[in-house]
């Protein structure tokens, strides 16, 4: 696609004279407000010459680091709208006076769907079946069921609610933990007593100073033998060495959509760890994400053009 300018009539649009940078051509979005001056920047070619005029920037989804670092070269920037739920890679580049919005709600269905898939695949032994098929070997035997299991969701928010809805038909119980406790949702201080009761632990926490390395040797030691750890959050939430020790010992199992480091380099011991199912950070990257992401961007631009408050503004950001 490349970087291409597609300026529009700037006399009847928003009060701001700043430009909008989108990762896709404006025609793929529905109901964009009239009068926006739009450039397309997908991160794969040189940025448009209008970088000094950008007021509203939507970085390419899962783009290379330079697509975020370029924010520092946007002196007139007012809004950064990410297409990811997590913003830990963007936050350091967002300065005073800039509103940072995430894609809360866009990835709920896709990520929850993968969560269910990873849980069932791990419990029922799908990776073993695939390897056996490659070897033309009939690998019959009894496996774990999700039914009657206790699933502990750590970081219960929008994605956690979507996951809970999808788990309900599987006859398992869901225990919810959040930084903000409420009715039916325990606080993080309850983790020590809840971890030993869990058959499956699903991580959906944002990566912050408080959650970095949260799942360490002590956290893992509280889990019962054979428990399954599912990380749908960010790789550094889990202490990789501590998890490797438990996997190598055969005491725990894991399913990781994210790792630390990421991408996982060739030769890293996680590749060959027993009891581990890996997916390459694809929790939100599905066909369902595309229309949802476009609808969010369109709606935000309509709010921006009308001078209305934006949704999904990240707390703690400028």
Q: Is 308 a catalytic residue?
A: no
Catalytic residue among 78, 88, 113, 262: 262
Q: Is 161 a catalytic residue?
A: no
Q: Is 171 a catalytic residue?
A: no
d(CA 220, CA 66): 36
Catalytic residue among 19, 91, 253, 281: 281
Residue 100 phi/psi, 5-degree rounding, is -105, 125
Catalytic residue among 19, 91, 104, 234: 234
Which residues are part of the catalytic machinery? 234, 262, 281
């Amino acid at each position: 696609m490349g970087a291409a300018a597609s300026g529009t009539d700037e006399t009847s649009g928003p009060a701001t004279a700043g430009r909008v940078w989108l990762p896709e051509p404006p025609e793929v979005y529905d109901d964009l407000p009239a009068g926006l001056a739009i450039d397309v920047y997908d991160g794969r070619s040189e940025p448009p010459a209008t970088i000094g005029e950008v007021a509203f920037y939507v970085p390419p989804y899962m783009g290379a680091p330079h697509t975020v670092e370029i924010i520092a070269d946007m002196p007139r920037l007012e809004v950064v709208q990410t297409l990811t739920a997590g913003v830990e890679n963007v936050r350091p580049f967002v300065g005073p006076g800039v509103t940072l919005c995430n894609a809360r709600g866009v990835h709920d269905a896709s990520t929850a769907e993968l969560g269910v898939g990873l849980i069932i695949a791990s419990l029922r032994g799908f990776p073993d079946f695939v390897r056996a098929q490659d070897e033309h070997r009939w690998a019959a035997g009894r496996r774990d069921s999700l039914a009657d299991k206790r699933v502990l969701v750590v970081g219960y928010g929008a994605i956690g609610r979507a996951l809970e809805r999808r788990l309900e038909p599987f006859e398992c119980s869901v225990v919810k933990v959040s930084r903000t406790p409420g009715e039916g949702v325990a606080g993080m201080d309850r983790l020590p007593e809840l971890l030993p009761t869990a058959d499956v632990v699903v991580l959906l926490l944002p990566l912050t100073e408080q959650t970095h390395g949260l799942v360490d040797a002590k956290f893992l030691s509280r889990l019962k033998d054979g428990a399954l750890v599912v990380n749908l959050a960010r790789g550094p939430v889990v202490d990789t060495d501590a998890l490797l020790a438990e996997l190598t010992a055969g005491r725990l199992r894991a399913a990781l959509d994210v790792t630390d480091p990421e991408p996982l380099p060739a030769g890293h011991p996680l590749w060959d760890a027993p009891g581990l199912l890996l997916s390459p950070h694809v929790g939100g990257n599905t066909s369902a994400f595309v229309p949802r992401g476009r609808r969010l961007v369109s709606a935000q631009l309509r709010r921006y053009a009308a001078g209305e408050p934006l949704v999904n503004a990240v707390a703690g950001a400028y």
